[in-house]
Amino acid sequence: MKTKIVILGAGYAGVLTAKKLAKQFRKNLDVQVTIIDKNSYHTMLTELHEVAAGRVDEDSIRVSLKRIFAERKIEVVLDKIEKIDYGNQQLIGKQKTYDYDYLVVAAGSQPAFYNIPGAEEHSLKLWSYEDSIKLKAHILATFAKAMNEPDETTRRKLLTFYVCGAGFTGVEMAGELAEWVPFLCHEYEVDRKEVRIVEVDMLDRVIPALSPALSAKAQRRLEKMGVEVRLKTSVCSVGSDFIELGCDEGARTRDETATVIWTAGTQCADVAKNSTELKQVGRGRLQTDAYLRAEGLENVFVAGDNAFCIPEGQKTPVPQMVENCEHSAKNIAQNIQTLVAGQSGLVAYQPNFHGVMVSIGGRYGVAYVGTDNKKFSLPSFLAMFTKHLINMVYFLQLLGWNKIFSYLRHEFFNVRNCRSFVGGHLSNRTPSFLLVPLRLFLGFMWLYEGIKKIGEGWLEAPKLVLFFRGADQFFEGIINGTSGTADAVAGATGAAVEGSVLINWNILGFLNILLVKAGDVALKIQFSLMDWFRDTVIYASGDTQLFFQIVIVVSEILIGLALLGGLFTTLSAGYSIILQIMFVMTTGLYMGTWWMAFAAFAVIIGGGRIFGLDYYVMPWLKKQWRKLKIVRKSYLYHD
């Protein structure tokens, strides 16, 4: 009988635990790993605000579970688990009941409303993929209504936005919305001065996980973006068109608004909160032992937000953050492997958290990073750079190249309105059809070069020794101020020897960069390994010279034909760059042909999809490529 390991929840902790278990038990046919979630996709919860405020597309935060676990020994089950029967080791779902030998509770969190009247019924949440889509649609609809609303009172209500909660999610949502508002105002012809964004929280500073100095810095940034920050202010009630606030002194204020965004804290998902057999701490978190097992149960592990664990030597419980999900997933997978193997020596949970990062819009961020003993702040640019880098490290674990490429595309290459920490400098704004003439001209030049070499007898007799040595003598003659072998040089390069040295840099003894001027400007990068290959392999015999000559001629002709036809443009342009690198390391590259290298860079992506065969061929090839098991498993494709 198979050992059944069931993971409840496909959030950060659940997905990473499943992937690690799949790797550990990939050759063990006696172990079945199952992951159960009510959704067929994994949601990037830390990026919800980007979708809600219109910075990135919806699909950027949604990742199919089938794609994540493609060709892995993981059973993905779509069901909503309503109860866990720990005594009988069963999960009771809407569809069926599931038995387990080992259970990982990674059900995640949900918004906490603290029994505030109307908060759950009338506010807009930001804790799921559906929430972000709904909130975005609501904001757009609100501006559309305000554009045609003549009544000032109603218009003021429509353009008043409250964000309740000044933690990570609240600050990021308020900042993202404040960044989006100017563009919405332009699109819907609304005066920016009419729009109010209010961040409210009963705490005395925003994002308490940051240092006081960084909290103040984050608040100043929000205020600079036009956000009203109201701290030490509690929410008394929320209605369909109002919010009621109360301060410490007991005074209450009522403000009309059509939008209350609730980000004021979380509690564990219902399935964890309803586990009354287990010891609970705080808002439904399950008490664990040092090994992340639910207290009193040796075969039930608790991961991520659901776990209440105070590691040895620590005074506070592990925080409910993504890094805790990552660390706990690794620890739990390792301990389950130990138990399944019947071994002793479980590993106690000792995470080492590296800090926190907050983005306030797409262009500004604050970070408080380091070790447990020492943390420091990062400037805004480095904070945003680090945030994106850490996201990509997670995406590498999640969906490899596929998700990293998608992330770069959404966050940088396709971003609009310069809403990125590098502005719009990497964003694609030029229509691709403008590259067609460049692609055709580059293809024609490569074809011409190949045909010309055929006419010069490159397919008939060895020529590379004279060609390369003539080029060497050309550069040496300029460096030494001598003419060298003029006939050989002229025959190989077509240039005079007399000239001047512009740059002559030697780097670490094996790389020399030489730029000279002799009528034309020539560049040569002398690389010792390339010199060895030339002298040892290419010069070995006349036959080897002839072989490499044929390769060069055929390559130039094939590159030319491919670029002219717009077929395999990316490969052709990439190979073109490689040839140019080889030339610059052997004969040198002359200014008259430098443009070919830069042109290849320009057309390397997308140049063949316009008026080219790639328009028809590449979609078909991508479809066939994705059918390969190794490709799906390694995520070596992009959408």
Nearest of 481, 479, 484, 467 to residue 513 by alpha carbon: 479
Question: How confident is the model over 478-483, as a mean pLDDT?
Answer: 72
Asked if the model's pLDDT at residue 580 lies above 80, the reply is yes
Residue 63, beta-bridge partner list:
42
Name the nearest CA neighbour of 520 among 541, 554, 495, 487. Answer: 495
pLDDT in tens, 422-444: 998 888 777 788 899 999 999 99
Cβ-proximal residues to 1 (8 Å cutoff; 6+ apart), any chain: none
Which H or E run includes 613? none
254 contacts 157 by C-beta, under 8 angstroms: no
pLDDT in tens, 338-367: 999 999 999 999 999 999 999 999 999 999
Of 156-170, 379-393, 453-467, 506-520, least confident by mean pLDDT is: 506-520
- Say if residue 113's pLDDT is above 80: yes
Give dist(CA 12, CA 61) in Å, integer: 12
What is the model's pLDDT at position 482?
56
Q: Which residues contact 491 (CB under 8 A, 6 or more apart)?
A: 466, 470
313: amino acid identity, one letter = G
- Containing H/E element for 371? none
CA distance 381 to 365: 7
Contact at 8 Å (CB) between 185 and 191? Answer: yes
pLDDT-derived band of residue 592, with 50, 70 and 90 as boundaries? Answer: confident
Report the pLDDT value the prediction gives residue 561, as an integer from 0 to 100: 97
Q: 2 exposed, middle or buried (CB, 10 Å; 0-12, 13-18, 19+)? A: exposed
* Residue 498's pLDDT band (cuts 50, 70, 90): low
Least confident of 506-510, 554-558, 597-601: 506-510
Instruction: Give the Cβ contact number of residue 203 at 10 Å.
Output: 14
- Residue with tokens 């492997």, as numbered in its chain: 337
Q: Show the beta-strand stretches assigned E in 94-169.
A: 97-99, 102-105, 109-111, 124-125, 160-164
- Average pLDDT over the chain, rounded to an integer: 92
Give which of 33, 47, 27, 24 is closest to 2, Cα–Cα.
33
pLDDT greater than 70 at residue 247: no
- Confidence band for 282, pLDDT divided at 50, 70 and 90: confident
Residue 248 pLDDT grade (very low, low, confident, very high; cuts 50, 70, 90): low
Q: What domains does the chain contain, in order, with CATH numbers?
A: 3-108+268-352 (3.50.50.100), 119-264 (3.50.50.100), 433-464+526-620 (no CATH)
Residue type, 375: K
User: What percent of the chain stands above pLDDT 70?
Assistant: 97
* Strands 124-125, 259-262: pairing kind: parallel
**Alpha-carbon span 102 to 335, nearest angstrom:** 11
- The C-alpha atoms of residue 518 and residue 516 are separated, in whole angstroms, by 7
In tens, the pLDDT along 28-46 reads: 999 999 999 999 999 999 9
Strands 160-164 and 196-200: parallel
Q: Which residues pair with 524 in a beta bridge?
A: 514
| pLDDT at residue 486, rounded to an integer | 40
286 class by beta-carbon count within 10 Å (0-12 exposed, 13-18 middle, 19+ buried): buried
The answer to whether the Cα torsion of 246, 247, 252, 254 is positive or negative is negative
The whole model's pTM is what? 0.87
pLDDT digits (tens, 9 = 90+) for 196-227: 999 999 999 999 999 999 999 999 999 999 99
Pick the closest to residue 306 from 631, 71, 9, 615 (CA basis).
9
Amino acid at residue number 376: F
Q: What is the DSSP letter of 288?
A: B
Q: Are 499 and 482 in contact (CB under 8 A)?
A: no
Strands, E assignment, 371-519: 375-378, 500-507, 511-518
Q: State how far the Cα of 133 lies from the Cα of 126, in Å rounded to an integer.
A: 9
Place of tokens 């342009």: 573
CA–CA dist 385, 226 (Å, integer)? 24
Instruction: Indicate the pLDDT class of residue 493, thresholds 50, 70 and 90.
Output: very low
Residue 448 and residue 553 in contact, taking contact as beta carbons nearer than 8 Å: no
Task: Spell out the residues 6+ positions from residue 535 whose beta carbon is closer than 8 angstroms to its own.
Answer: none
Band (pLDDT 50/70/90 cuts) for residue 405 is: very high
pLDDT value, residue 483: 46
Query: How many other CB atoms sit within 10 Å of the CB of residue 142?
Result: 19
Task: Provide the pLDDT for residue 512.
Answer: 92
pLDDT value at residue 270:
93
Q: Token digits for 420?
A: 């990125």
Contact of 194 with 294, CB cutoff 8 Å: no
- Note the pLDDT of residue 372: 75
Rounded Cα distance between 140 and 638, Å, is: 30
